[in-house]
Chains A and B, each alone.
Chain A
Amino acid sequence: MQDTKTRNTNRLKSFLINLANIFSFVSKTFRKMFLPPYESREILRQCYQIGVKTFFLVGFTSFLVGIVFTRQSRPSLLEFGAESWLPSLVSIAIVRALGPLVTALICAGRVGSNIGAELGSMNVSEQIDAMEVSGTDPFRYLVVTRVVATTLMVPLLVIYADTLMLFGSFIATAVFNQTSLPLFFYQVFDSLEFVDIFSSVLKGFLFGMAIGLVSCYCGYNSGRGTVGVGRAANISVVTSLFLVFILDLLSLQVIELFR
């Protein structure tokens, strides 16, 4: 009985310590993000690593999702004789939900695991300590730059993904219906409001920040050894995905207030 009580107390203690560590990590990131010196070169390098190198993957996946989603929505609309509503339906679904979500899932998998494993292995092989004795603040150089890069690049990738999904949707629509690219995009923009596009970008911003913070936290505080590196990569992806869905739900509630 005493053992269970002690175990539970230890668990609670460990949970609270973790929570305090996360809070301290996040507040330190924001403090260092806005205070000089700024690591602008490293931020640009990270933007390239995170944004440009995910460009093809996001583009290709989004294009396919656009085709598949349109093909699967068409029969239901056809049943009600509402096939002409297809561009409106897909554009709302893509810009409001699918575009940001697909981009965030890809980035959580590719970028999150990459950051978690990279920082984890740097921690294990004492590269972070070496950076510190070289007169560099490793937190600013490794963590802040990556969080800034994911926060800036994911919204851009979301806009790119939205565009390619809509293009994929146009291809799928054009196979069965007589439509032109200008007409399709006229119908798309006719059904979209400013708040839809704004919410898409805002979600990208929030998802990017969450992926950056989570994966940097897991990598920077990874356990020792190769097991620690593997765990850091794994937890980065799982927690990022979990947070993306929670943020998606929360942002939906907030955006609904402005609609």
Chain B
Amino acid sequence: MDKNARHIAEENSSAIGTETVIRIRNLYKSFDDTPVLNGVDLDLKKGENLVVLGRSGTGKSVLIKCIVELITPDAGEIEVLGKDVRRLNSEQINALRRDVGFSFQLSALYDSMTVRENLEFPLKRNLKIFDQKILNEKVMNALEEVSMEHAVDQWPADLSGGQKKRIGIARTLILNPKIMLYDEPTAGLDPITSEEINELVLEVQKRHGTSSIIITHDLTCARAIANRVIFLYNGKNHFDGPFDELTQTQDPLLKTFLNYYNIEAR
């Protein structure tokens, strides 16, 4: 499974372009006088899978929430697909959110809706599609991509953690985004399901040509899908480079982090 994911990742790496789709400079964010982001810089190239690593509380999730304006940063520049996010009005933000899919850590499926209604929701609300035939077609296509067609009329409460993640990804993919942001895609999943999700992330990148930022502290996930890794520490970039370079580091902080996850720093 892991080899298969890495094989897809190697194939995908040849498709990385030179165009920057997300550019972040000097990003700062504090909560109640506690700094979380302390001057983060980030560049995401077209077709690239960028994994952001770091310990809990280093601001990884805050970083990607700032990209889609779910959290407003205190200072810094965020440019997504050439647009300055901080200068956009609410309509322009909504338009941008069509191009930037967000897969939440807990999947965030609406409990009061079936899987079908969950997937129809962004189509009706964002694209204003109300024709039931078109909705059905788009819903089934999205579910097919994540191999969950059988769950179309089920309730989120009846699904396993891995199934919820898949449906969450399908709900994001249904708007055909150019960029995918994954918040802890393998958190709380067993190793086999985690591998399946890793493969799904790579399949999505291959089929849709998306660029992705993946937030995780799961090094197995990072090794399987990363074209490049950024390590955040105290709200700042501490490392930026390929995964293999990370494993060969002599930096004591990174060595401690890698050892904790049983990955030898050579």
Q: Could you list which residues of chain A lie within 8 angstroms of chain B, going by C-beta atoms?
A: 118, 121-122, 125-127, 129-136
Which residue of chain A has the shortest Cβ distance to B123 in the bound complex? A134
Which residue of chain A has the shortest Cβ distance to B95 in the bound complex? A135
Instruction: State the Cβ distance, B67 to closest chain A Cβ, in Å.
Output: 11
Q: Does B102 contact A (CB under 8 A)?
A: yes
Instruction: State the Cβ distance, B58 to closest chain A Cβ, in Å.
Output: 18
Instruction: State the Cβ distance, A163 to closest chain B Cβ, in Å.
Output: 32
Q: Could you list which residues of chain B lie within 8 angstroms of chain A, going by C-beta atoms?
A: 65, 68, 70, 94, 97-98, 100, 102, 104-106, 108-112, 121-122, 125-126, 171
Which residue of chain A has the shortest Cβ distance to B91 in the bound complex? A135
Name 27 A/B residue pairs within 8 A (Cβ), A-sorted: A118-B112, A122-B110, A122-B111, A125-B106, A125-B108, A125-B111, A126-B104, A126-B105, A126-B106, A127-B111, A129-B65, A129-B70, A129-B102, A130-B102, A130-B109, A131-B110, A131-B121, A133-B68, A133-B97, A134-B97, A134-B121, A134-B125, A135-B98, A135-B125, A135-B126, A136-B121, A136-B126
Q: What separation, in Å, do the CA atoms of A133 and B64 have in the docked complex?
A: 12
Contacts of A126 in B (CB 8 A): 104-106, 108
Is B97 touching A135 in the complex (CB atoms < 8 A)?
yes
Is A134 touching B126 in the complex (CB atoms < 8 A)?
yes
Contacts of A118 in B (CB 8 A): 112
Q: What separation, in Å, do the CA atoms of A121 and B156 have in the docked complex?
A: 14
Q: What separation, in Å, do the CA atoms of A134 and B108 have in the docked complex?
A: 12
Q: What separation, in Å, do the CA atoms of A169 and B98 have in the docked complex?
A: 60
Partner of A130, one of B94, B100, B104: B104
Q: What separation, in Å, do the CA atoms of A130 and B112 have in the docked complex?
A: 14
Q: What separation, in Å, do the CA atoms of A133 and B101 have in the docked complex?
A: 8
Contacts of A135 in B (CB 8 A): 94, 97-98, 122, 125-126
Partner of B111, one of A121, A131, A136: A121
Instruction: State the Cβ distance, B80 to closest chain A Cβ, in Å.
Output: 13
Q: What separation, in Å, do the CA atoms of A41 and B172 have in the docked complex?
A: 24
Which residue of chain B has the shortest Cβ distance to A135 in the bound complex? B126
Which residue of chain B has the shortest Cβ distance to A45 in the bound complex? B112
Nearest 6 interchain pairs by C-beta: A135-B126, A130-B108, A134-B122, A126-B108, A135-B94, A136-B125
| A127 with B125, Cβ < 8 A, contacts A132-B70, A135-B94, A135-B97 known | no
A118, A131, A135 — which one has the most chain B CB atoms within 10 A of its CB?
Answer: A135
Q: What separation, in Å, do the CA atoms of A131 and B108 have in the docked complex?
A: 9
Q: What separation, in Å, do the CA atoms of A136 and B127 have in the docked complex?
A: 11
Contacts of B94 in A (CB 8 A): 135
Is B108 touching A129 in the complex (CB atoms < 8 A)?
yes
Contacts of A122 in B (CB 8 A): 110-111
Contacts of A132 in B (CB 8 A): 70
Which residue of chain A has the shortest Cβ distance to B97 in the bound complex? A133
Contacts of B125 in A (CB 8 A): 134-136
Contacts of A129 in B (CB 8 A): 65, 70, 102, 104, 108
Is B111 touching A133 in the complex (CB atoms < 8 A)?
no
Instruction: State the Cβ distance, A151 to closest chain B Cβ, in Å.
Output: 21
Contacts of A125 in B (CB 8 A): 106, 108, 111
Beyond A133-B68, A133-B100, A134-B121, 4 extra complex contacts between A and B, CB < 8 Å: A125-B111, A129-B104, A133-B102, A134-B122
Contacts of B68 in A (CB 8 A): 133
Q: What separation, in Å, do the CA atoms of A58 and B106 have in the docked complex?
A: 37
Instruction: State the Cβ distance, A222 to closest chain B Cβ, in Å.
Output: 15
Contacts of B108 in A (CB 8 A): 125-127, 129-130
Which residue of chain A has the shortest Cβ distance to B71 in the bound complex? A129
Which residue of chain B has the shortest Cβ distance to A121 in the bound complex? B111
Contacts of A121 in B (CB 8 A): 111
Which residue of chain B has the shortest Cβ distance to A127 in the bound complex? B108
